[in-house]
A and B are shown apart, each in its own frame.
Chain A
Amino acid sequence: MADYAFTTVWRLDAPVAAVWTAITEVERWPLWWRGVEAVVQLRPGDAAGLGAIHRYTWKSKLPYRLSFAMETTHVEPYRRLAGRAQGELQGTGCWTFAETGVITTVRYDWNVQTTQAWMNLLAPMARPLFAWNHDVVMAWGGEGLAHWLGAHLLPETAAVEQPERQMSNN
């Protein structure tokens, strides 16, 4: 399997409560996040949302869809939201929120593996393509979220690709 690790940072001139609400209401993502085709709840979580499972379908620059389910494993309002992915991608995702003055910084850490045979086979060559696709989707997300909140996406939001990990199939 091929491992991918991505970190994205968005800085917005919006209160953390508004950003938190937009991120946690995952079923509304398709309204503002270009690239998110559908989010379907498979299992409700507790009052805080813990334990909820949602299926996400993504359609981005690449000419095929990507689908995985994500279970919420950690909820710490206005600070941290984490989950575990299962499906065509598996691994963990974690949103971290911080408010400094009028600026909210959201960081997303995404550590996943591809499970489909062809994606694993092609990883040595297609890795930059998958990474590019991720960057584009996250850029859409940042712009979409800012627009949705009537805020602005501030500079220094570049997606950062972390050093590539050793791939087990290479």
Chain B
Amino acid sequence: MTRSTSTHAHAIVLGASMAGLLTARVLSEHFSQVTLIERDPVADRPEARKGQPQTRHLHGLLASGLEIMTRYFPDLMEALEAGGAIVGDFGENMRWCTYGGYRQRFTLGSKAALMSRPFLEYLVRTRTLAQGNVTLLDNCAVRRLLTTTDRMRIVGVEVEQRTQDSAVTVLTADLIVDCTGRGSRTPQWLAELGYTAPVESEVKVNVGYATQIFRRTPSDDYARDWVLITPEAPRETRFGAMFPIEGDRWIVSMGGWAGDHAPTDPAGFLEYARTMPTPDIYNMMRQAEALTDVYPYKFNSSLRRHYEKLTRFPAGYLVLGDAISSFNPTYGQGMTSAALQAAALDELLMQRHGNLTDIAPAFFKRAAKIIDTPWQLAVGEDFRFPQTTGPKPAGIDLLNRYVAAVHRATLVDPEVGRAFAKVMNLMAPPPSLMTPGMMVRVWRANRQLRQRRPLLETVLAPLKQ
């Protein structure tokens, strides 16, 4: 992360959520000044802003995401732990129930973090703003992009302060990056400027879940365990998760695919927990003190905008994070995908010594390559449900038959579990699960399972009643 040889004057990042913060941090190495523009007011504490309802819900930071973030914020892991987050090897405290049993625990060799999303974002935000050359303009709405007269280059933005006087300011920059998430207005802006908007892939999943937070007793022997219950699709449609987070709390999110949504009244939510194949979440919820209401969240579809396929794109402008692609959040890949994209932008700027000419096609190509894996993983899993609709990858039903065998194999073979976790954590490509050696393991484990199907209790005892 050495500074580029040619440093540009000013970069603007639209959106001060996770992708925007990471992008601003990266650009602070390549530009003299970086301005973050955020529509909502940003408080100097962990909070879920109005424009980011998803942040109230369960989040995990995958190992590769944490690894990248610690590159840019070297004290992040210590700060997370000091604040009460759970940082540890991904596989060691796992209670992951699926396909009728718990996956065997394993050592991944890489740490992941469990905390509330607002807390993580707060740590990342304070560290980004501590860069010295990064400024945050909050409560500011971007009204439009400013271009050169030939519209070949974006040179700035017109922002309106969302205060009483609604003052309008013009900001110019050498590079503007749209990190405003799924609601990004870039496609619309491009069309208004005479460009073609990107083609979209949309996969409808109709996932609905809800979240409630409980008090956690740190002396409980399972107080650092994380519970995940994922469905044996399509027979089961519900998932549940219970993660320990800072402030001695449990965060519980439960929901389902294909319209099998979780209820949002506390009694109904507790009852929903009782329908899970393992009683872990239910047992905790019955005993612990609820600290919040039940908040609902609906995720109708995964959406990918194919900027990499555009042949014309204005200079001086990029799009990054959920604004390119937002996938079903139940796989926990959003923040990590954004971190990988920000790191790719950093690498690209370093390789080009800060040269911004034609950077957009090069960046979108790299971003598409990064997005391919989490998109295929999420969409592939979603297509296990017959109700899922949208562009279906060739042969995915066949692939999913093998993936189901991999899921089952993780119940008996920790090596398969580790290989699967590496793919899920975006640390290894999916074909690593298809080597002849891995296929032999999967086959052997499935044969073993057929002979002796393990009961939940024989693999890992459920949390105490």
Q: Which of B395, B436, B440, B442 contacts A132 (CB 8 A)?
A: B395
Quick one: which of B402, B405, B432 has the most chain A CB within 10 A? B402
With A135-B394, A159-B395 as known contacts, state yes or no: A126 contacts B402, CB within 8 Å: yes
Chain B residues near A138 (CB-CB < 8 A): 394
Q: Does B446 contact A (CB under 8 A)?
A: yes
How close is B153's CB to chain A, nearest CB, in angstroms? 31
Q: Which residue from chain A places its CB closest to the CB of B434 in the assembled complex?
A: A62
Asked if A129 and B398 make an inter-chain contact with CB atoms under 8 angstroms apart, the answer reads: yes
B396 contacts chain A at the CB level, 8 A cutoff:
yes
0/1 interface trace, chain A 125-145, chain B, CB 8 Å (1 if under): 110110111111011000000
Q: Report the bound CA distance from A135 to B395 in whole Å.
A: 6
Q: Is residue A63 contacting chain B, with contact meaning CB distance below 8 A?
A: yes
A residues within 8 A CB of B434? 61-63, 129
On chain B, the residues within 8 Å of A135 by CB distance are 394-395, 398
Distance of A28 from chain B, by nearest CB (Å): 23
Residue of B nearest to A135 (CB): B395
Q: Which of B398, B434, B439, B440 has the most CB of A within 10 A?
A: B398
Q: How many angstroms between the C-alpha atoms of A129 and B436 in the bound complex? A: 12
Given contacts A125-B442, A126-B443, A132-B395, contact A62 B402 (CB under 8 A): no
Give 1 or 0 for each of A23-54: 1 = CB within 8 Å of chain B CB. Answer: 00000000000000000000000000000000
State how many angstroms separate the Cβ of B270 from the closest Cβ of chain A. Answer: 39
B388-402 toward A: CB 8 Å interface, digit per residue (1/0)?
A: 000000111011011
Give chain A's interface secondary structure class.
helix
Q: Are A129 and B435 in contact (CB under 8 A)?
A: no
Which residues in B have their C-beta under 8 angstroms from that of A136?
394-395
> Number of A interface residues, CB 8 Å?
22
Instruction: Evaluate whether A132 and B399 lie within 8 angstroms (CB atoms) in the complex, with A64-B436, A125-B442 already known.
Output: yes
A-B CB contact pairs (8 Å), 16 listed:
A63-B431, A64-B435, A64-B436, A118-B440, A121-B443, A122-B439, A124-B443, A125-B402, A125-B405, A125-B443, A128-B398, A129-B402, A132-B396, A132-B398, A135-B395, A161-B398
When chains A and B are docked, how far (Å) is the Cα of A132 from the Cα of B396? 7
Binding site for A on B (CB under 8 A): 394-396, 398-399, 401-402, 405, 431-432, 434-436, 439-440, 442-443, 446
A125 touches B431 (CB 8 A): no
| Contact yes or no, B431 A132, CB < 8 A | no
Nearest residue (CB) in A for B404 is A128
How far apart sit A62 and B443, CA to CA, in the bound complex (Å)?
Answer: 16
Q: Is the CB of B401 within 8 A of A128?
A: yes
Q: A63-B431, A126-B402, A132-B398 are in contact. List 13 more A-B contacts (CB 8 A).
A: A61-B431, A64-B436, A121-B443, A125-B405, A125-B439, A125-B443, A126-B443, A128-B401, A129-B434, A132-B394, A134-B395, A136-B394, A159-B394
Nearest chain-A residue to B401 (Cβ)? A128
Given the interface contacts A61-B434, A62-B434, A63-B432, does A129 sit within 8 Å of B439 by beta carbon? yes
- Inside 8 A of A61's CB, which chain B residues have their CB? 431, 434
Question: Provided the pairs A61-B431, A63-B431, A63-B432 are in contact, do residues A126 and B398 lie with their beta carbons within 8 angstroms?
Answer: no
Q: List chain B residues, Cβ under 8 A from A131.
A: 395, 398
Cβ–Cβ < 8 Å partners of B439 in chain A: 118, 122, 125-126, 129
Collect the chain B residues with CB atoms within 8 Å of residue A121's CB. Answer: 440, 443
Whether B395 lies near A125 (C-beta < 8 A) is no
Instruction: Give the residue name and chain of the B residue nearest to A130 (CB).
Output: B398
Cross-chain contact of A122 among B396, B399, B431, B443 (Cβ < 8 A): B443
Most A CB atoms within 10 A — which of B394, B401, B402, B446? B394
How far apart are the CA atoms of A122 and B432 in the complex, in Å? 17
What distance in Å separates the Cβ of B233 from its nearest Cβ neighbour in chain A? Answer: 15
Residues of A within 8 A of B395 (CB): 131-136, 139, 159
B394 contacts A139, C-beta separation under 8 Å? yes
Q: Which residue of A lies closest to B402 (CB)?
A: A129
Q: How far, in Å, is B392 (CB) from chain A's closest CB? A: 10
> B431 contacts which chain A residues (CB < 8 A)?
61-63
B399 to chain A: which residues have CB within 8 Å?
128-129, 132
Query: Bound complex: CA of A138 vs CA of B395, how far in Å?
Result: 10
Would you call B435 and A122 a contact (CB within 8 A)? no
Distance (whole angstroms) from the CB of A62 to the closest CB of chain B: 5
By Cβ-Cβ distance, the 4 closest A-B pairs, closest first, are: A135-B395, A132-B398, A128-B401, A132-B395
Q: CA–CA, A133 to B396, complex, Å?
A: 10
Nearest-CB distance from B169 to chain A (Å)? Answer: 47
Given the complex, which residues of A lie within 8 Å of B440, measured CB to CB?
A: 118, 121-122
> How far is A132 from B436 in the complex, measured between Cα atoms in Å?
16
Partner among A63, A125, A133, A139 whose Cβ is within 8 Å of the Cβ of B435: A63
Q: B29 to nearest A CB, angstroms?
A: 35
Q: Nearest chain-A residue to B446 (Cβ)?
A: A125
Q: How far is the CA of A64 from the CA of B398 in the complex (A)?
A: 19
- Chain A nearest CB from B369 CB (Å) reads 15
CB closest residue in chain B, given A126: B439
Q: Contact string, A97-140, partner B, CB cutoff 8 A, digits 1/0?
A: 00000000000000000000010011011101101111110110
Nearest-neighbour CB distance to chain B for A114, whole angstroms, equals: 12
| Chain A residues within 8 Å of B446, by CB | 125
Docked complex Cα distance between A115 and B398 (Å): 22
Q: Are B436 and A118 in contact (CB under 8 A)?
A: yes
Q: How far is the CA of A132 from the CA of B393 in the complex (A)?
A: 10
Q: Bound complex: CA of A61 vs CA of B394, how far in Å? A: 12
A135–B405 Cα gap in the complex (Å)?
A: 20
> A135 vs B394: C-alpha distance in the bound complex, in angstroms?
6
A131 vs B400: C-alpha distance in the bound complex, in angstroms? Answer: 11
Report the bound CA distance from A128 to B405 in whole Å: 11
